Structure 1
């Protein structure tokens, strides 16, 4: 990302706060101007109070003047910092809101291709680096550049010959900064990427801590983590050393300048003590802002590298939703018409599938891993779109429906239950917490056989369940997911081995609730345990993306084909 592009993108978020930025800049300019008056006041104090006849009234006047300059400068600087901090944190908030809103609109393919940790790093670490450009870097630039301009003007006023000889050194400072910029930006970009990888690795090991321990993978994961942080250390060392080189080079130039001032002011120029103090103090005050202007390149390059990451996310292609038709009260008739699908130009996952599901019918999908069962579900919910053919609901191509209205007609229960760090009530009424009645929530919990354990919790339906339902057992988590599907009350129901985490007794109770829920609903079941689908109206047997058998449980057993083989294998083992 080029500097101009970075500034123009960032300015979109700074534009609403231009007034505050101007106010911040003015306050900092006033603070800087007052600070820059200190060398002249100091010189006059030496000449008038220590090199001539001393006067109490003059001493009091200079004391108040010096005190007043410092107090006013501090007040202006504090006001500027407060306003800048407000803008910076507002920009962070606005960027995070934009990024989170974008995440909610991204297609599933994005999350399939980008590790969670790296995405999290963009919202946590990278956005903070950008905010520095919105406040800290800007303030440092204003303060430092103003100080340099005022003090150099003052030095020219005091002795232009000596000052000009010092200003000649400035091009050397510019050259050092120019040479270091590319190196800093490259290293900063690597730091951003490595931080994302580290966040991803931490997320994996925290969420999978039990798995790491049971498989004794601590050394393996530690090695991966150590390699990552070693890389981060090396890249940050490059950034720091480049900055240190710049600072050291500037220090050498400053030392040469100060030494020259001491020599010439005391010999050929014959300055008074006060004049020398004023000139020397002004030069001394130039050191810090000069260093800041050189070192400002380091956080700026870091911010630009972070900007490439953050704005890259914001620019990601959103999930396509070009459908205009609203689907409501769907009957549930689903038809696959020669549907083929492959992930990003890879091998074909589905090969010209044709399937007609009538309203209210229960269809079970059976097949080995990779046969295309999950892909069929992904296509119905429009997480992906067919590469060939079409899918219709009630005779209308699903691409013509508004995507939100389409998904409002589908309830889904996955074997890998996902719960949110919320209350029991919030998880059952997910997406409808403001509109769903308590009575409906309780009915859904009762139907899924979840009421008993919910009522035993300290706060009942208002009990927090922890991250991903950490406070619940596997069976309790699955019953909450089933209650959520029941509460949504959609005409199309998708079940991915919804009772897999339940014990036999509870499974029978929940299966009875599911059987009741399936009435007058189109139900699609992904089946791993064939005992759960014997009541299905039809069973679809898939192999490598093709439908090889289709019929009822008994019909398929009678055919003595693939399904019969799978069934006999499960029950004989």
Structure 2
């Protein structure tokens, strides 16, 4: 990301705080002017108090003036720092809110293609780098640049001949900063990428800790982690060394100037003690702001590298939602009209699917892995759009519906159960906690056969279940997911092997609950256990993206085709 691009993107988020930035800058300018007056005050103290007759009244006035300049400078600087810190943290908060909101609106394809760890790194690590430029860099720049300008002006006022040496140094400092910028930017981009990879690796291995241990993969994972952090160390070392080189270079140049002042002021120019002290002190005070101006390039390059990922995420295209119609009380008549689909224009997953699902009908999809079962329901829920053909509900193209309106009419139970670090109640009432009653939540749990184990928990429905329901068994987690779908009470129900984690006895109870739930609902089942779909109105057999058979369980057995073979061998897909 180029400097102008970075500033233009950042300015959008700083614009609401322009007034505060003006206030910060004003306070810091006043503080800098007061601080820069110290060399002149100390010079006069030496000439008027120590080189002449010493008067207590004069000494008191100078002492009070010096104290006043230091105290007021500190107070103004403190005020600007406090406001700057407030702005910085407000920008961090705003950016995180914007990014999190954006994440919720991004298409599923983005989340499928971007590792979770890298996305987490953007919201945690990268945004902090951006915030540094929002206030800290600006504050340092104002203070350091104003100090340099005021002190150089003061030095020229005191003695322009000696001050000319400073002008010779400026091009050298500029060349040093320019040399370091590209080097640090490249290294910082690598650091941002490696931090994302590291966060992703940590996330994977914390969640997959059991597999890592059972397969004795600790050494393999550890080598990968060590390689990542070694790269981070190397890149950060390059950044630190480049910054240190700049600092050392500037120190040498200023040291050369200071030593020149000592020589020429005492020989050729024959300055008084006070004049020398004023000039030398002012030059000494130039050291810190000059170093700050050079070193400000390091956090700026950090921020620019982070800006590529942060603003890249913010500017990602949101999930398509061009529909304007509301889907209210649909009957649930679903049609797939010549639907074809491929991911990223690669191998075609679905090929010319034509299918009518009547309102209130229960259909089941079976077929080998990769046959297109899951893709069909992904298209129906509009996580992806067909490359060809149209999907309709009650005769209306689903793309014409407002996306939240469409999904509010669909309940979904996935075989990969996802629960949240919340209470039992919060998970069952997901998305409708403020509108659903406790009675409805409990009834949903009863239907899903979850009430039995919930009542045995210490806090019952208020029990916190931990990350992804870690405190529950697989069967309990699955029953909670079913209860969540029941609580939503949608006219369209999608079940992706919803009983796969249940024992036989519990599965029969939940299957009975599902049959009750299916009443007056259009139900789509992805089946791996063929024994669970025998009561479906129709069974659709998929192979390589085509529908090759469809009919009732008995009709397909009589047909003696692929389904009959699957059933005969009880092959579980």
The alignment's TM-score, normalised by the length of structure 2, stands at: 0.98
The number of equivalent residue pairs is: 573
SS at match of 1:389: strand
SS of aligned partner of 2:345: coil
Shift of 1:461: 1.4
Task: State the match for 1:248 in structure 2.
Answer: 248
**1:135 aligns to what SS in structure 2?**
helix
Distance 1:180 1:431 in 2: 51
Residue of structure 1 equivalent to 2:569: 569
Q: 2:446 is matched with which residue? A: 446
1:306 and 1:571, CA in 2 relative to 1: closer, same or farther beyond 3 A?
A: closer
Structure 2 residue 480 is matched with structure 1 residue 463: no
Query: Residue in 1 aligned with 2:111?
Result: 111
Question: What residue in structure 1 maps to residue 199 of structure 2?
Answer: 199
Matches of residues 11-410 of structure 1 in structure 2 within 5 Å? 11-410=11-410
Superposed CA offset, 1:198-239 (max 9, x none): 111111011111111111111111111111111111111111
Cα distance in 2, alignment partners of residues 147 and 456 from structure 1: 70
Contact 2:530 2:572 in 1 (8 A): no
The CA distance in 1 between the partners of 2:18 and 2:39, in whole Å, is: 33
Give per-residue Cα distances to partners, 1:372-408, cap 9 Å, x unaligned: 0000010110101111111111111111111111111
SS at match of 2:144: helix
Partner of 2:504: 504
Change over 3 Å in CA distance of 1:115–1:506 after alignment to 2: same
Give CA-to-partner distance per residue, 1:519-565, whole Å, 9 cap, x none.
11111111111111111111111111011111111111112221111
* RMSD of aligned residue pairs (Cα, Å): 1.3
Deviation sequence 1:489-509 (CA, Å, 0-9, x none):
001100011111112221111
CA distance in 2, matches of 1:142, 1:484: 56
- Counterpart secondary structure, 1:335: strand
Offset, 1:57: 2.3
Q: Equivalents in 2 of 1:166, 1:101: separation in Å?
A: 51
Unaligned runs of 5+ in 2: none
Return the alpha-carbon distance in structure 2 between the equivalents of residues 124 and 65 of structure 1. 47
C-alpha distance in 2 between matches for 1:450 and 1:181: 60
Q: Distance in 1 between matches of 2:135 and 2:389?
A: 53
Distance 2:325 2:134 in 1: 43
Q: Does residue 426 of structure 2 align to residue 430 of structure 1?
A: no
Shift of 1:52: 2.2
Q: 2:458 and 2:164 mapped to 1: Cα distance?
A: 78
Report the Cα distance in structure 1 between the residues aligned to 2:175 and 2:209, rounded to whole angstroms.
51
Distance 2:35 2:475 in 1: 69
Aligned counterparts of 1:571 and 1:332: Cα–Cα separation in 2: 31
Q: Distance in 2 between matches of 1:55 and 1:570?
A: 109
- Structure 1: unaligned runs, 5 residues or longer: none
Contact preservation (8 Å) 2:528, 2:572? no
Map of 2:513 onto structure 1:
513
Which SS does the other structure have where 1:66 is aligned? helix
Report the CA distance between 1:572 and its aligned residue.
Answer: 11
CA distance in 1, matches of 2:472, 2:58: 79
Q: Distance in 2 between matches of 1:99 and 1:191?
A: 21
In the TM superposition, residue 283 of structure 1 has moved relative to its aligned partner by 0.5
Distance 2:422 2:69 in 1: 55
Displacement of 1:51 in angstroms is: 2.2
Post-superposition Cα deviations, 1:81-130, rounded to whole Å, max 9, x if no partner, equal 11001111111111111111111111100011111111111111111111
Distance (whole Å) between structure 2 residues aligned to residue 336 and residue 248 of structure 1: 70
CA separation in 2, counterparts of 1:197 and 1:310?
A: 16
How far 1:59 sits from its partner (Å)? 2.3
Cα deviation, residue 36, structure 1: 0.6
The offset of 1:145, in angstroms, is 0.2
2:184 and 2:301 in contact (8 A); partners too: yes
User: Which one is further off, 457-466 or 383-392?
Assistant: 457-466
* Partner Cα separation in structure 2 for residue 331 and residue 133 of structure 1: 55
**Other structure's SS at 1:501 match:** coil
Distance 2:27 2:459 in 1: 53
Question: What secondary structure does 1:344 align onto?
Answer: helix
Match of 2:142, SS?
Answer: helix
Which whole-Å deviations, capped at 9, do the CAs of 1:175-217 have from their partners, x for residues lacking one? 1111211111111111111111111111101111111111111
The whole-number CA distance in structure 1 between the counterparts of 2:527 and 2:61 is 91
Cα drift, residue 570 of structure 1:
1.8
- 1:458 positional shift: 2.3
- Aligned partners of 1:166 and 1:443: how far apart in 2? 81
SS in 2 for 1:392: strand
SS in 2 for 1:456: coil
Q: What's the secondary structure of 1:339's corresponding residue?
A: strand
Distance verdict in 2 for CA 1:300–1:530, change over 3 Å: same
TM-score by length of structure 1 reads: 0.98
Structure 2 Cα separation of the partners of residues 463 and 552 of structure 1: 43
Q: For residues 16-71 of structure 1, what are the alpha-carbon distances to aligned partners after superposition, in whole Å with 9 as ceiling and x for unaligned?
A: 11111111111111111111111111112222222222222222222222222111
Paired residue secondary structure (2:344): coil
What's the offset of the Cα at 1:571? 7.3
- What CA distance in whole angstroms lies between the structure 2 residues aligned with 1:71 and 1:445? 67
Moved more, 85-94 or 61-70: 61-70
| Deviations 1:315-369, CA, capped at 9 Å, x for gaps | 1111111111111111111111111100011001011111111111111110111
Alignment of 1:476-515 (within 5 A): 476-515=476-515
Secondary structure at the aligned position of 2:500 is classed as coil
Work out whether residues 497 and 525 of structure 2, in 8 Å CA contact, stay in contact via their aligned partners in 1: yes
Q: Distance in 2 between matches of 1:206 and 1:365?
A: 34
Question: What SS does the corresponding residue of 1:494 show, helix, strand or coil?
Answer: strand
